[in-house]
Structure 1
Amino acid sequence: MPCHLTNHWALLVCRLKDCKWEFYDSMKTKRHRSGLPGLVKLLHEEASRALPSDINDWPIVEVTGLPQQANGDDCGVFVLKFMEVVLSNEVISWSECCSWLAETGKFRAEIAADLLTTFSEISSH
């Protein structure tokens, strides 16, 4: 779940099999993490009938070693890249992603191209 936390985007991943949350943040601060229990509570209130247990009791584990952004503008790009890695189900060493900082311009262009291509395909149907 992409989370907007005090003017910053981060990613909260629900690991149903492990009964835990994973928090992916490209600009770590305690302030960002402090809003997570409230988000989990809201999610629980909205989806409690669809979930196997009380997700409020699950630990929130901060994923370490993640690439970190160097400005206040790239958090959305980093969230999308984190999602890409998580959804791939590949075991990854986050140190392999240290080039992300230098490649955010390329990533933004790829995201724009994907959106435009998808929109074009939808419009043509």
Structure 2
Amino acid sequence: MPCHLTNHWALLVCRIKELKWEFYDSMKSKRHRSGLPGLVKLLNEEETKALPSGIEDWPIVEVAALPQQENEDDCGVFVLKFMEVVLSNEPISWNECSSWPAEMAKFRAKIAADLLATFSEISSH
């Protein structure tokens, strides 16, 4: 789940089989992490059918060694890249992603191209 924490986007992943949460943050900060228990509590109250009971008691594990953004603007793109990796279900060495900060312009262009292609496909039907 993408999370907007004050003025920053990060990713919170529910690992139901492992009974834990994983937190992906491209600009590590205790302030970002501090809002997560309240967010999990809200999810527990709102998503009673989608999530198992007791999710508030699961540990929130901050994923280590993630690539970190070098400015105040790239957090949304990092969240999309983290989602791409998580959804691939492939084992990853985060060291392989150390070039991400330098590739942000390329990632943004690909996102824009994908959105335009999708819009074109939808509007042609």
SS at match of 1:61: strand
- Pairs aligned (count): 125
TM-score by length of 1: 0.97
SS at match of 1:51: coil
Distance, in Å, in 2 between the alignment partners of 1:103 and 1:95 is: 15
Distance, in Å, in 1 between the alignment partners of 2:2 and 2:78 is: 11
1:23 aligns with 2:23: yes
Q: Which amino acid aligns with 1:12?
A: L
Which residue number corresponds to residue 64 of structure 1? 64
List structure 1 runs of 4+ shifted beyond 2 angstroms.
49-53
Higher helix share: 1
SS at match of 1:91: coil
**Is the Cα contact below 8 Å between 2:3 and 2:10 reproduced in 1?**
yes
Q: Aligned Cα RMSD in Å?
A: 0.7
Unaligned runs of 5+ in 2: none
Unaligned runs of 5+ in 1: none
**Is the Cα contact below 8 Å between 1:48 and 1:54 reproduced in 2?**
no
TM-score by length of 2: 0.97
Name the % identity.
82
Which residue number corresponds to residue 101 of structure 2? 101
Distance, in Å, in 1 between the alignment partners of 2:103 and 2:49 is: 41
